[in-house]
A and B are shown apart, each in its own frame.
Chain A
């Protein structure tokens, strides 16, 4: 009985239930491109701020906060502009 079950389990394990690991499905091309390749120079710049010499944590944090504040103000400003357009024209 046990032997039959074991044989069946081994047979099942050898059945290809999927065609294998597909990296494009796991992370589609845009994800690789934007976060893997295009992002690299930005990661290098930020790593340089925090790990390179000379460095000062206060200045590195200042640079990072400026960066994030600018991202928020850019999209926040765009949101405000488009809402104004909605208010006046639609």
Chain B
């Protein structure tokens, strides 16, 4: 562990200097994003025919594929991110304070990508807003899609408000060390600021954290999002009360993996070993193991009830799932990650940040695969197989696969841009920092 003392200079460093690596990553992400935007433009010109989505049943087609699977995956990352941050504030988990803002920014970036997926998936995205808003008073009464839009809006805005309020303290104190050309942005962020408000804003953020910690896990990713699927009785792969806990476990697992990846990359780029310490990364790795175990446990519940003396429709979808290579990849990856996490829990020498980084990437690949498969197989194996004799299975087109790389590149660009605008580590985290990893509340 480093013996360096954390200081405010550390957290403003990304705004003061730009390395060659920064430009290289920016260029690479920019190229990938542009290629995908061109592919999306092609889709807008030609229509959804350039995807391999099809009318349900015809040619073995499914109407929801990678776009909706990736949408759920991004939403999951976003929800888990803010839950992490809210837990840090609400339960005083100071050990994780340095990653609180990273988790909040991950929420904003990931939720934006999720929203973009809805726009991309819509055959005529120009009609999206004009068809949602006027119909809202009626659609909200019965449509889970309208509930979803409502709760995601609430959630995005609560998170952004949370971020806007917490930034006031940092920007006011670090203003003279931040870039002058962004002065107007900082003036808006700190509008009407006075040091007397610090205690009150901190309390307001606590209230927001309280709201978010109930809203996000219980009603959003453990509620409205799985209800989009679980309330449809004709799709046995989607149905059932287990979808709530299953979605939530995947969200938390994916979000912790995302935070580990971003933390370790930033730590490497800005020499933040003394802020984003090994101790903290190991703690996050253990949480990854805990939620990963929940993921595996809930999968086991679904597989056992699906393959042992099941109803015919549930048995069909479960049997198809367990032999699908994508599902096998997801489960084997998660089991390998869990093996590493338990090994490093028993023997500390097994832990290395690089291994945790690999584990986090594997987890994200596993959760994305599982989510896409969940959506696709849910549609491919309905209760009434009207199209059973029609050959063919869905496999995503290059346009759809490009969207995954493209949204990841856009999210990377978002982080690269935000690094130049505000500190991604809270000032409180370096002010209260204890280099020996001791905390007020250990978790």
Contacts and interface: CB of A to CB of B under 8 A. Distances in A.
Given A30-B142, A45-B210, A67-B161, A38 B219 contact: yes
B223 A41 contact: no
A41 B151 CA distance: 12
B296 interface: no
Nearest to B223: A38
B157 A71 contact: yes
Given A28-B142, A42-B215, A66 B126 contact: no
A62 B190 CA distance: 11
B428 to A, nearest CB: 18
B214 interface: yes
B207 A74 contact: no
Interface stretch (B194-202, B350-358, B378-386, B393-401): B194-202
A81 to B, nearest CB: 7
Contacts of A75: 129, 133, 153
A41 B200 contact: no
A60 B200 CA distance: 9
* B contacts with A: majority SS: helix
A31 B141 contact: yes
* A contacts with B: majority SS: helix
Nearest to A49: B204
A9 interface: no
25 contacts: A29-B142, A30-B143, A34-B150, A38-B147, A38-B154, A40-B214, A41-B211, A41-B212, A42-B158, A49-B207, A52-B203, A53-B203, A59-B197, A60-B204, A63-B165, A66-B164, A78-B115, A78-B119, A82-B126, A82-B127, A83-B126, A85-B125, A89-B45, A90-B44, A90-B124
Interface of B: 41, 44-45, 115, 119, 124-130, 133, 140-143, 146-147, 150-151, 153-154, 156-158, 160-161, 164-165, 192, 196-197, 199-201, 203-204, 206-208, 210-212, 214-215, 219, 223-224
List 5 A-B pairs, minimum CB-CB distance, nearest first: A86-B126, A48-B207, A45-B211, A28-B141, A41-B211
Interface of A: 28-31, 33-34, 37-42, 44-46, 48-49, 52-56, 58-60, 62-63, 66-67, 70-71, 74-75, 78-79, 81-83, 85-86, 88-90
